Structure 1
Amino acid sequence: MSDANVRIPEAAKERLATIAAAEGLSLRAYLARLAETLLTPEERAERAEQARAALERWTGYAPSTTEQRELDGELDRRLAQAAAR
């Protein structure tokens, strides 16, 4: 496996190295593991669709596009309210 160089601020590198060391890993190993655990936007969208389909099968709940927008707006509002605290 070839390595790649990534330029990030020194403070970010030090923080990641500290987190890696606390988990008994080198920075290289930690970043490789992190990359394996994160989802791409496409993977997140696919998982969200799978979850929505499972919820619909399980409960029969299938919100319309308008209902989804309203629920998303409500969630955004509540998250903003919680972040302001």
Structure 2
Amino acid sequence: MPDANIRISEEARDRLAAVAAAEGMSLRAYLSRLAESLLTPAERAERAQRARELLKAWNGYDPTPSEEEELDRELNRRIAKAMGR
């Protein structure tokens, strides 16, 4: 597989290199492992849809979009409270 050049700041490169070294890896190997571990937006959406389908099949839970928004607001409120904001 051919290599690719990615332009980032020196600070970002040095930080990533330090993290890679602490893991006993080269920067190249670390970035490859990182890329393999991340999901694309489409993959995340697909997993979320599948999780909703499984939850509905398991216990019938099927919130409406407005219920999901309200639950998201409540979760965000609780997270902010826990973080002292």
Task: Give TM-score scaled by structure 1 length.
Answer: 0.88
One-letter code aligned to 2:25: L
**Superposition deviation, residue 80 in structure 1:** 3.0
Unpaired runs of 5+ residues, structure 1, are none
Aligned to 2:14: 14
Moved more, 65-74 or 30-39: 65-74
RMSD, matched Cα: 1.4
Aligned to 1:72: 72
In the alignment, is residue 40 of structure 1 matched against residue 40 of structure 2?
Answer: yes
One-letter code aligned to 1:6: I
* Distance in structure 2 (CA, Å) of the matches to 1:6 and 1:80: 35
3-state DSSP of counterpart to 1:34: helix
* Distance in structure 1 (CA, Å) of the matches to 2:40 and 2:25: 24
Q: How many aligned residue pairs are there?
A: 85
**Which segments of structure 1 move beyond 2 Å, counting only runs of 4 or more?**
76-85
One-letter code aligned to 2:44: R
Unpaired runs of 5+ residues, structure 2, are none
* Distance in structure 1 (CA, Å) of the matches to 2:78 and 2:41: 23
